[in-house]
Structure 1
Amino acid sequence: MVSARTASGGEIHTGHMALGLRSAIGSDVGRRRTANEDSGAAGDRLLVVADGMGGHAHGELASALTVAAMLEMDERLPADTSELDLLAELTAAVDDASAKLAAHAQQEPDTQGMGTTVVALLFDGERLALAHVGDSRIYLCRGGTLTQITHDHTMVQQLVDEGQITPEEALVHPRRSVLMRALSTDHPVEADLAFLDLQPGDRYLLCSDGVTAVLPDQAILDLMAAPTGPEVVVEKLITFANEGGGPDNITAVVADVVDAADVVSQPVRLVGAAAEVQIP
């Protein structure tokens, strides 16, 4: 399979140092799936990954609808978001995505039960806001250290939190893919929300579990900490996940926090189902 890989960047001027995001995005169906149910988008200020689920119940539609809701939020925001509550905007976008899934299931009953994860970063040059539902993840690489920013909404993570199993046991648990929280056709869901501390030189990864189910943290750190551009990191994450068996769809966004002068603004780039599915 050929992977789609595109780069985009955003430039925001602030009252002091102007920071920008220089990002790359890619998605691949993997080695064992026939369709890509992941969706991704990378723009000047919004980065999103959604991992659809449901198989015959149209996971690819769920992820594409969710990314579309996020992009609609981004498009209606003003150029200057300094007066806006970014977390409230992300919350509204997640609620809108849930409403889109429910409305579609009403019109097309065979899509009842479809669902998706979502991770998103919304950036305005000074603030970086996060929204998260499910087991897609966001990592930060800073100073040679990799930190998982999100906390999986899975059954096995809950068992780890409660001390019933170890993190090592969680990696091979037969029910490791069972989600405790996801966007679905059934009811609205509450996203985890946070503002992230922002520093020049930071590198963020947003990815579906097609990456993390195959690559250990050390392998991800080795790629993220390497002195290569985001495009190379995305390409290698996809390649290595496929070489590790490619059991699932693979989607990754890598974004560097840089001086805005080093960034060229580009249109939003879509990958996976978001680039292929016709939204009704």
Structure 2
Amino acid sequence: MTKIALSGRTDVGLKRSNNEDIFIVRPELNFCLVADGMGGAAAGELASRFFAETALGIFSKAKKNGETELPGLVQKAFTLANKRILSHVKTDRSHEGMGCTAELLAFFSGGFVLGHMGDSRTYRFRNGKLKQLTHDHSLVQNMVDQGLISSEEARTHSHRNVILRAVGIEKNISLDLVKGKTLPGDLFLLCSDGLTDMVDDTLIREVLSSDISLPQKVEGFIDLAKLAGGFDNITVVLSQVM
């Protein structure tokens, strides 16, 4: 089994009174996740917690988590969390519209499986090159894809918080599943938009290439997002293939 080093942290930021983000790092289970709640203080927090608890339960109980089984486990985590959130909303209508964006990254020997919904992101840093593995499910990303606005304009656009896909919003989920090989030294970054709205890819690459420890890199990202304004909750998870 591939050996993974993990580090993560979440921070409320400088403008919010509560933190709707959550993360899990479980090196013994070879998986990690980031979820960013939406739908108001109590509801957003609850949605991201439901996703994290559901995923942790599935990976903790899995008898096998090899290359064959992992895509199904990742899909199951998103599907069951989606059902759990929708079921909760039926019993508490005041939480209608709650949901979360989510990144779930799991490793098998020589590779990884990534589940993605929303505008949180996962990047891979390999041999000095940064690659975004996910595509934002957002209105502004669609506008960028159509050539209506630039990537830089998207970061400050008034509609940048309009999410087109999230866990807990629709009965049937549309999940992006990304599968790939890993190499020793590969570094994966999972983060909420509280980081990427504040810190551009050039700075992200600089931090990932720096000769400091994983926890120090995580702290560096949090500090950079706050220096840029810290308008949202900031959550960062780093995973390095040993």
Partner AA of 1:47 in structure 2: C
Alpha carbons 2:194, 2:233 under 8 Å: kept: yes
The structure 1 segments of at least 4 consecutive aligned residues displaced by more than 4 Å after TM superposition are: none
Partner AA of 1:21 in structure 2: I
Q: In the alignment, does 2:171 pair up with 1:187? A: yes
Deviation of the 1:53 alpha carbon: 0.7
Q: Which residue of 2 aligns with 1:275?
A: none
Which deviates further from its counterpart, 242-251 or 54-63? Answer: 54-63
Matches of 2:123 and 2:170, distance apart in 1: 29
Q: TM-score scaled by structure 1? A: 0.82
Q: Which residue of 1 aligns with 2:10?
A: 27
Deviation of the 1:257 alpha carbon: 0.4
Q: In the alignment, does 2:135 pair up with 1:151? A: yes
Q: Which residue of 1 aligns with 2:19?
A: 36
Matches of 1:149 and 1:126, distance apart in 2: 17
Structure 2, unpaired ranges of 5+: none
2:224 to 240, 251, 270: 240
Q: Which residue of 2 aligns with 1:64?
A: 49
Deviation of the 1:57 alpha carbon: 5.7
Residue 68 of structure 1 aligns to a residue whose secondary structure is helix
- CA offset digits 1:121-153 (Å, max 9, x no partner): 011232210000000000111111111110000
Structure 1, unpaired ranges of 5+: 1-11, 13-18, 259-280
Q: Which residue of 2 aligns with 1:118?
A: 102
Q: Considering Cα pairs closer than 8 Å and 6+ residues apart, tell me whether 1 or 2 has the greater RCO.
A: 1
Cα RMSD (Å) of the superposition?
1.3
Deviation of the 1:107 alpha carbon: 1.9
Matches of 2:99 and 2:172, distance apart in 1: 11
Q: Which residue of 2 aligns with 1:230?
A: 214
Q: Which residue of 2 aligns with 1:165?
A: 149
Partner AA of 1:54 in structure 2: G
Residue 185 of structure 2 aligns to a residue whose secondary structure is coil
1:197 to 149, 162, 181: 181
Partner AA of 2:43 in structure 1: H
Partner AA of 1:61 in structure 2: L
Which deviates further from its counterpart, 85-94 or 61-70? Answer: 85-94
Matches of 2:200 and 2:159, distance apart in 1: 18
Q: TM-score scaled by structure 2? A: 0.95
Matches of 2:41 and 2:23, distance apart in 1: 21
Alpha carbons 1:49, 1:118 under 8 Å: kept: yes
Deviation of the 1:197 alpha carbon: 2.2
Alpha carbons 1:99, 1:188 under 8 Å: kept: no
- CA offset digits 1:42-67 (Å, max 9, x no partner): 00211100000111461000000011
Partner AA of 1:37 in structure 2: E
